Amino acid sequence: MEMNNNKPFYTPEEFRKLLRCSRSLCYEALREKKIHSFKLGKKIFIPASEVDRLRQVADDNASSMDNDNSILF
């Protein structure tokens, strides 16, 4: 599936593929409100700004930690 990086919102499936995390980790982070999201009916949407935020967190962690295996959420 090709991702359009200009999308304003992502589904959890698209989001997890962008961040290369497991389905269970993604939904756990959503349940625990570690990822901002909203629902329209039964569908969950994650703002594109969350991808940017988590990538920034990863970049910050990578630059401040050596061989630590901490996760983003």
Q: Between 47 and 61, whose confidence is greater? A: 47
Is 54 inside any structural domain? Answer: yes
Look at the chain and report how many structural domains it folds into: 1
* Cα–Cα dist 14/3, whole Å: 7
Q: Determine, yes or no, domain membership for 57.
A: yes
- Cα separation, 43 vs 62, in Å, equals 33
Identify whether 70 is part of a domain.
no
Higher pLDDT among residues 62 and 1, named by residue: 62
> Does residue 4 sit within a domain?
no
User: Is residue 41 very low, low, confident or very high in pLDDT (cuts 50, 70, 90)?
Assistant: very high
